[in-house]
């Protein structure tokens, strides 16, 4: 089911770990133009006019003069593709509870089960399910809505437990790191003591 009419769109939370998009050859050229203007002591008071001027020059440039900027763009694109492959390849925590299904998706699951082994393809099942759902009365939809609410409650309970365990895991990792750091510091102290003992033995020999 879609978002109700009139509802304000949800603001997407920015992912700080997502790789920065690659820069185009044209934007590398614009940066070059700004750098040159600064070197010449030229004041860029009107950004729009300056950009328009640079854009006109860019359109007049041939492949040879654009080549340095194309190479920079290609290099950055390779960087972006590599980082995105790593970013997308991150494993999803298998222990994280799955988000609860809406009433419609619960209905769709039941509908798919009903249509099983009837030789109907995926697209047709979705179309038929949509038609049937729209034809249901509010009373007929209630069982699915009830199951959805129940699933939501179970999800909240599961997520609370998941967050607790996440916190415990983080605390355990921090404790382990602290113990390792303390052990390393102890080893350093022992090495210093051994060196001092060796120095004292040398003094006694003299």
Q: Does residue 206 carry a pLDDT above 60?
A: no
pTM beyond 0.85: the answer is no
Q: How confident is the model at residue 43 (pLDDT cuts 50, 70, 90)?
A: confident
25-88 has CATH 3.40.630.10 classification: no
Q: Say which range, 91-100, 134-143, 165-174, 182-191, has the weakest mean pLDDT.
A: 182-191
The mean of the pLDDT values for the chain is 82
CB 44 within 8 A of CB 50: yes
Fold observed for domain 103-189: DNA Binding (I), subunit A (1.10.30)
CB 155 within 8 A of CB 100: yes
Please report the pLDDT score of residue 139 as a whole number. 96
What does the alpha-carbon distance between residue 20 and residue 198 come to, in Å, rounded to a whole number? 55
Say yes or no: do domains 25-88 and 103-189 share a fold.
Answer: yes
Q: Does residue 19 carry a pLDDT above 70?
A: yes
Q: How far is CA 139 from CA 19, 132, 136, 144, in A?
A: 48, 14, 8, 10
Task: Show me where the domains of the chain are located.
Answer: 25-88, 103-189
What does the alpha-carbon distance between residue 63 and residue 55 come to, in Å, rounded to a whole number? 15
């Amino acid at each position: 089911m879609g978002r109700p009419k009139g509802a304000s769109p949800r603001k997407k939370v920015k992912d700080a770990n997502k790789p920065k998009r690659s820069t185009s050859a044209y934007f590398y050229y614009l940066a070059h133009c700004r750098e040159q203007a600064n070197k010449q002591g030229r004041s860029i008071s009107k950004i729009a006019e300056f950009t328009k001027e640079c854009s006109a020059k860019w359109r007049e440039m041939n492949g040879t003069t654009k080549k340095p900027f194309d190479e920079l763009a290609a290099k950055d694109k390779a960087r972006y593709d590599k980082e995105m492959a790593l970013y997308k390849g991150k494993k999803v925590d298998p222990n994280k509870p799955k988000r609860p299904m809406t009433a419609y998706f619960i209905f769709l699951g039941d509908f798919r089960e009903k249509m099983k082994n009837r030789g109907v393809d995926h697209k047709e099942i979705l179309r038929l399910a949509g038609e049937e759902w729209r034809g249901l009365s509010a009373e007929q939809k209630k069982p699915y809505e009830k199951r959805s609410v129940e699933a939501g409650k179970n999800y909240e309970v599961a997520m609370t437990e998941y967050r607790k365990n996440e916190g415990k895991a983080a605390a355990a990792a921090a404790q382990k790191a602290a113990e390792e750091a303390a052990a390393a510091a102890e080893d350093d102290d022992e090495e210093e003591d051994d060196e001092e003992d060796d120095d004292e033995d040398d003094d006694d020999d003299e």
